C-alpha cells in the first residue's frame, strides 16, 4: 500500500459546522484516506496566545475521536510552528515574547524565535504537551525546523547563539566579527563550527520536543518535516541526526513546487525530496513526500500534476505522500474536487506499484552532493560565503533528466554527475572513488580537480576559459552517431555571468576522445570542449566544457549525452529512450537488477504516439513500446 495522508487546515475543523462538512467529505472519500493530520494553527508565526491553543486542543481531542469513529486508520496533529517560518501578520498577531532570530546582517525576525532561547523552549514544551494531551496517534514537527530563511535569511546571531559558539570555539565572538570571519577564505574551521552550531540548535530543540511528547504519552509517534539540500546546506542537512534526536518514526521530505505555471519544478522537487531519504535511522519506516498545493486555488495545479507527483514520490523511494491540498476555506471544496478525483483514479495503480517497489533502489546517474557543502565550500577573491555560486548548485543536473537521462536521488547510482565546484565539498578519496567509476562533469569541475592534483584522471587539461562568442560543433566520434558536424549555439553571453561556460580542453594522451570543438560565430574552429577518457583506474570520465547545464534539448546534443552516459556506465545505465522526446524516466531496480519498474513523465506538450524504452537488466536489455502518451502525462513500465 502507498500511504495517502491528508493535512487539514484549522478553518476546516474549528467550528462544528465546518467539521460536519469535513466529516461528510471524509465519509465520501474513505478509500483514499489512510491518515489525517490537523494543523494546530493558521499562522506561520510561532507565538499564539495560550488560551486560543488550549481551546483548540480541546476541539482537536473531539475531532480526533470523531475521525477514529469514522474508520480513518491514523489520526494526528501537524504542529505547524516550533520556531516560526517567516514574518507574517506582524500587525495583527501579538509580538513574539521570545528572543527573535537575528540575521547575519542584524535583521530581526518578526515571526521566528531563537531555538536556544529558554523562554521559547518553555513555550514549545508547553505547546507539544498540550497537543499530546489531545491523544493523537502521531505528531508532526513541521519544516520550520531549519535555521535558514526565516525572513532574516541567515540567523541566528543573537547574543545567546554567539555565546554558544564562543564556548565551542574558545573565541569570543560578536556578530560583526563572526560575519566578517565567515567571509574569509581561510576560515574553514569557523564555518564548520558555525554550521555544526546550526545543526545542534535544531538537534537540541528536537530532543526537547521528543521528551515533552513522550512525557505525556510515550505511545505517540513523532515525525519530522524537512527541506532539501537543493535549497541550501546552511542548516547542515543532518536529517539522520535530527530524526534520532526527536525519536522519530516518520519523515516528510519537502520542497517548493506550487503550481503548473513552472511545471518542470516537479523534477527538481522529486530529486530533492528523494535525497532527504538518505541516512534514515532504521526506526523511520514511514516516509511521506510533501505534495504542496499552497495557496490552494483550483487553477494553480491540475489533478494530473498531483497524480504525477504521487507517482514520482513512489519512484523516488517514499512509502507515502502527504497531501497539503485541502485549502483554508471553512465552506466548500470547489478548489479541491479535481484533486480528489485524481487520487481516486490513481489509488489502485499506486498501491500495485508500491508492491513492485518493495526491495528496489534508485537506478540512474547520481548527481553528487554533500551535506558539508556549506562549510567546505571555498571562497575565491571577491566572493562572499552568504551567496554560493551557480557552480555549487546540486540541482542543475536536472537539465539532464529533462532530456531523458535517469537520475538516482540516492547514491550510488549507475554513474555520477559532478557539477563544477561541488568538488570542493568532497575529499580526495571520495573524488578518486567517483573517478574510478562512470563520471560526467563540467569544465569548472575539471579546474577544481586539477587544483586537487586529480585532473589527469579525466584525460584532459584546461586549455583556456572563455566567456563569449562561441558555439560548439560535434566531431565525427562514433559517440555522436549520425550527428557529426551538428552545431550547438547556446549563445552563452546572453544569460548573465558566463564564466565557466566555454572551457577549452586539451587531451593529455591519445586515449582522450574529443566529441565536440569550440567554434566562433564566423565558423572558425577552436579547441576541444567535450571529452571522454578511460583512466588508469578503469574509470570512464566525460568532461562537458561548453554550456554544460543549459540548452541541451537539441536532437543531436541529446543523442551525444545519452550515448556518452551509456559509454561511461559501460551500458549499465538503467534506461535509454530512443526517440528525441521530452520524457524523464525514473527507475527502481532490485539489488540483482532482475526486476523493477520505470516511471515515465512526458513533461512536453505534444502527444507522443510511440516511445521506445530500453531497460538494462542483469540478463540484458529489453525494449518496450509505450504510447500514445498525452501531453503532461505519465506511464509505467514494470520489468
CA–CA dist 411, 100 (Å, integer):
38
Query: Could you tell me the smallest distance in angstroms from the CB atom of residue 175 to Zn ion?
Result: 11
Smallest separation (angstroms) from Zn ion to the CB of 212: 20
CB-wise, 73 or 106, nearer to Zn ion?
A: 106
Residue 116 Cβ, how far from Zn ion at the closest point, in Å? 5
SS3 of the chain: helix, strand, coil, percent, to 5: 35, 25, 40
x/- site string to Zn ion, residues 382 to 401, per CB under 5 A?
--------------------
Backbone φ and ψ for 321, nearest 5 degrees, come out as: -140, 140
Cβ at position 162, least distance to Zn ion in Å: 8
Least gap, CB of 148 to Zn ion (angstroms) = 13
Is the Cβ of residue 113 or residue 327 nearer to Zn ion in the bound state? 113
Three-class DSSP category at 262: helix
Which one, 101 or 132, has the nearer CB to Zn ion? 101
User: Which C-beta is closer to Zn ion: that of 156 or that of 315?
Assistant: 156
- Closest to Zn ion by CB, 112 or 584: 112
Chosen residue from 114, 147, 209, 243 binding Zn ion by CB under 5 A: 114
**DSSP SS3 for 236:** coil
Paired residues of 416 in beta bridges: 366, 439
Q: Which is nearer to Zn ion, 103 or 388 (CB)?
A: 103
Q: Which stretch binds Zn ion (CB under 5 A): 113-121, 182-190, 278-286, 287-295?
A: 113-121
Kindly tell me which of 162 and 312 has the beta carbon lying closer to Zn ion.
162
| Minimum distance, C-beta of residue 226 to Zn ion, in the bound complex (Å) | 20
Q: How far is the CB of 372 from Zn ion (least distance, A)?
A: 23
- If we measure between CA atoms, which residue out of 250, 234, 44, 247 comes closest to residue 157? 234
Least separation in angstroms between residue 543's CB and Zn ion is 44
Q: How does DSSP assign 185-207, residue by residue?
A: TT-HHHHHHHHHHHHHHHHHHHH
Cell reading at 400: 539532464
Residue 377 Cα distances to 181, 341, 394, 412, angstroms: 14, 46, 13, 22
- Tell me how many residues contact Zn ion (CB under 5 A): 4
Interface of this chain with Zn ion, residues 128 to 167, rule: CB under 5 A: 156, 158, 161
Closest contact distance (angstroms) between CB of 158 and Zn ion is: 3
In this structure, how many other beta carbons lie within 10 angstroms of the beta carbon of residue 412? 14
Residue pair 61/31 in contact by the 8 Å Cβ criterion: no
Least distance (Å) from Zn ion to the CB of residue 124?
Answer: 14
CB of 119 to Zn ion, least distance (A): 12
Show the binding pattern over residues 161-200: x = contacts Zn ion (CB under 5 A), - = does not: x---------------------------------------
Q: Which is nearer to Zn ion, 124 or 156 (CB)?
A: 156
* Minimum CB–partner distance for residue 100 and Zn ion (Å): 9
Q: Name the residue nearer to Zn ion (CB basis): 114 or 399.
A: 114
What residues contact residue 561 under an 8 Å CB cut-off, 6+ apart?
400, 403, 405, 552
Q: CB-wise, 205 or 457, nearer to Zn ion? A: 205
Cell 474549528 sits on residue: 14
- Asked if 398 and 268 touch (Cβ cutoff 8 Å), the reply is yes
The terminus-to-terminus CA distance of the chain in angstroms comes to: 19
Grid cell 523516488 is found at: 316
Toward Zn ion, which CB reaches closer, 114 or 271?
A: 114
- Sketch the per residue contact string, 532 through 561, with Zn ion: x for CB under 5 A, - otherwise: ------------------------------
Q: Tell me: does residue 109 bind Zn ion (CB under 5 A).
A: no
Q: Where are the alpha helices (DSSP H) in 317-363?
A: 337-357
Sketch the per residue contact string, 252 through 271, with Zn ion: x for CB under 5 A, - otherwise. --------------------
Judged by beta carbon, residue 158 or residue 449, the one nearer Zn ion is 158
C-beta separation of 37 from 77 below 8 A: yes
In this chain, which stretch among 110-118, 178-186, 419-427, 453-461 interacts with Zn ion, using CB under 5 A? 110-118
Cβ neighbours of 481 (radius 10 Å):
13
CB 323 within 8 A of CB 354: no
Kindly tell me which of 179 and 273 has the beta carbon lying closer to Zn ion. 179
Looking from the CA of 418 toward its CB, the CA atoms found within 13 Å total 32
CB of 113 to Zn ion, least distance (A): 8
Query: Is there a contact between 377 and 25 (Cβ–Cβ < 8 Å)?
Result: no
CA quadruple 32, 35, 36, 39: dihedral positive or negative? negative
User: Closer CB to Zn ion, residue 160 or residue 263?
Assistant: 160
Span interacting with Zn ion, options 49-57, 80-88, 106-114, 542-550, rule CB under 5 A: 106-114
Cβ partners under 8 Å of residue 238, min gap 6: 199, 203, 371
Q: What angle do CA 304, 307, 311 make, to 5 degrees?
A: 135
The C-alpha cell of 13 is what?
A: 475543523
Smallest distance, Å, CB 156 to Zn ion?
3
User: Please, what is the angle between helix 239-246 and helix 188-216, to 10°?
Assistant: 30
For residue 523, give the DSSP letter.
S
Strand pairing class (320-324; 3-8)? parallel
Beta carbons of 376 and 425 less than 8 angstroms apart? yes
Query: What per-residue string of b and e applies to 579-597 under the rule 16 or more CB within 10 Å gives b?
Result: ebbbbbbbbbbbeebeebb
CB 415 within 8 A of CB 284: no
Cβ-based nearer residue to Zn ion, 112 or 462: 112
Residue nearest to Zn ion (CB): 114
The alpha carbon torsion through 270, 276, 281, 285 (nearest 10 deg) reads -30
Task: Please state the closest distance from residue 65 (CB atom) to Zn ion, in A.
Answer: 39
Q: Is 53 in the site for Zn ion (CB under 5 A)?
A: no
C-beta closer to Zn ion: residue 161 or 516: 161
Output the smallest distance, CB 81 to Zn ion, in A: 17
Under the criterion CB under 5 A, does residue 120 sit at the interface with Zn ion?
no
Residues forming the site for Zn ion (CB under 5 A): 114, 156, 158, 161
Amino acid at each position: 500500500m502507498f500511504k495517502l495522508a491528508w493535512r487539514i487546515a484549522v478553518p476546516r475543523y474549528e467550528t462544528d459546522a465546518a467539521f460536519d462538512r469535513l466529516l461528510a467529505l471524509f465519509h465520501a472519500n474513505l478509500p483514499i484516506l489512510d491518515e489525517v493530520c490537523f494543523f494546530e494553527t493558521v499562522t506561520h508565526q510561532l507565538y499564539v496566545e495560550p488560551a486560543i491553543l488550549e481551546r483548540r486542543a480541546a476541539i482537536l481531542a473531539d475531532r480526533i475521536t470523531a475521525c477514529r469513529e469514522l474508520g480513518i486508520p491514523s489520526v494526528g496533529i501537524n504542529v505547524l510552528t516550533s520556531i516560526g517560518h517567516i514574518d507574517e501578520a506582524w500587525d495583527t498577531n501579538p509580538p513574539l515574547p521570545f528572543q527573535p532570530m537575528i540575521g547575519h546582517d542584524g535583521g530581526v525576525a518578526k515571526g521566528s524565535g531563537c531555538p536556544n532561547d529558554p523562554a521559547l523552549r518553555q513555550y514549545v514544551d508547553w505547546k507539544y504537551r498540550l497537543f499530546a494531551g489531545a491523544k493523537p496517534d502521531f505528531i508532526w514537527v513541521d519544516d520550520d525546523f531549519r535555521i535558514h530563511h526565516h525572513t532574516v535569511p541567515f540567523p541566528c546571531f543573537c547574543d545567546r547563539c554567539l555565546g554558544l559558539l564562543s564556548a565551542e570555539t574558545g573565541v569570543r565572538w560578536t556578530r560583526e566579527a563572526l560575519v566578517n570571519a565567515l567571509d574569509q577564505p581561510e576560515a574553514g574551521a569557523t564555518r564548520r563550527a558555525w554550521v555544526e552550531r546550526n545543526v545542534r540548535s535544531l538537534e537540541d530543540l528536537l530532543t526537547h520536543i521528543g521528551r515533552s511528547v513522550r512525557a505525556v504519552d510515550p505511545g505517540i509517534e513523532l515525525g519530522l518535516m524537512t527541506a532539501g539540500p537543493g535549497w541550501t546546506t546552511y542548516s547542515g542537512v543532518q536529517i539522520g541526526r535530527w530524526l534520532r534526536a526527536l525519536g522519530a518514526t516518520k519523515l516528510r521530505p519537502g520542497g517548493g513546487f506550487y503550481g503548473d505555471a513552472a511545471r518542470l519544478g516537479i523534477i527538481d522537487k522529486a530529486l530533492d525530496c528523494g535525497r532527504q531519504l538518505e541516512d534514515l535511522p532504521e526506526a523511520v519506516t514511514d516516509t511521506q513526500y510533501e505534495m504542496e498545493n499552497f495557496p490552494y486555488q483550483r487553477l494553480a495545479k491540475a489533478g494530473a500534476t498531483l497524480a504525477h507527483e504521487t507517482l514520482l514520490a513512489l519512484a523516488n523511494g517514499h512509502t507515502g505522500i502527504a497531501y497539503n491540498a485541502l485549502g483554508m476555506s471553512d465552506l466548500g471544496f470547489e478548489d479541491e474536487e479535481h484533486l480528489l478525483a485524481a487520487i481516486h483514479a490513481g489509488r489502485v495503480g499506486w498501491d500495485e506499484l508500491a508492491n513492485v517497489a518493495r526491495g528496489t533502489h534508485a537506478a540512474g546517474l547520481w548527481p553528487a552532493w554533500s551535506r558539508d557543502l556549506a562549510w567546505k565550500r571555498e571562497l575565491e577573491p571577491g566572493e562572499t560565503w552568504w551567496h554560493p555560486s551557480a557552480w555549487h548548485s546540486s540541482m542543475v543536473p536536472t537539465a539532464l533528466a529533462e532530456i531523458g537521462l535517469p537520475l538516482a536521488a540516492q547514491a550510488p547510482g549507475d554513474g555520477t554527475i559532478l557539477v563544477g565546484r561541488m568538488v570542493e565539498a568532497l575529499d580526495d578519496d571520495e573524488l578518486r572513488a567517483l573517478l574510478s567509476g562512470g563520471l560526467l562533469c563540467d569544465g569548472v569541475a575539471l579546474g577544481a580537480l586539477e587544483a586537487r592534483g586529480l585532473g589527469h584522471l579525466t584525460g584532459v587539461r584546461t586549455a583556456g576559459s572563455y566567456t563569449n562568442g562561441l558555439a560548439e560543433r560535434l566531431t565525427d566520434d562514433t559517440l555522436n552517431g549520425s550527428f557529426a558536424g551538428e552545431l550547438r549555439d547556446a549563445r552563452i553571453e546572453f544569460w548573465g555571468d558566463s564564466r565557466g561556460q566555454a572551457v577549452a580542453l586539451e587531451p593529455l594522451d591519445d586515449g582522450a576522445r574529443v566529441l565536440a570543438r569550440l567554434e566562433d560565430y564566423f565558423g572558425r574552429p577552436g579547441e576541444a570542449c567535450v571529452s571522454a577518457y578511460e583512466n588508469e583506474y578503469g574509470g570512464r570520465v566525460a568532461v562537458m566544457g561548453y554550456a554544460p547545464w543549459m540548452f541541451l534539448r537539441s536532437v543531436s546534443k541529446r543523442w551525444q549525452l545519452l550515448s556518452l552516459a551509456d559509454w561511461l556506465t559501460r551500458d549499465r545505465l538503467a534506461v535509454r529512450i530512443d526517440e528525441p522526446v521530452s520524457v524523464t524516466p525514473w527507475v527502481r531496480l532490485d539489488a540483482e537488477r532482475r526486476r523493477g519498474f520505470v516511471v515515465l513523465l512526458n513533461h512536453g506538450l505534444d502527444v507522443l504516439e510511440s516511445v521506445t524504452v530500453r531497460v538494462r537488466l542483469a540478463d540484458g536489455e529489453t525494449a518496450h513500446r509505450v504510447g500514445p502518451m498525452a501531453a503532461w502525462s505519465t506511464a509505467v513500465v514494470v520489468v
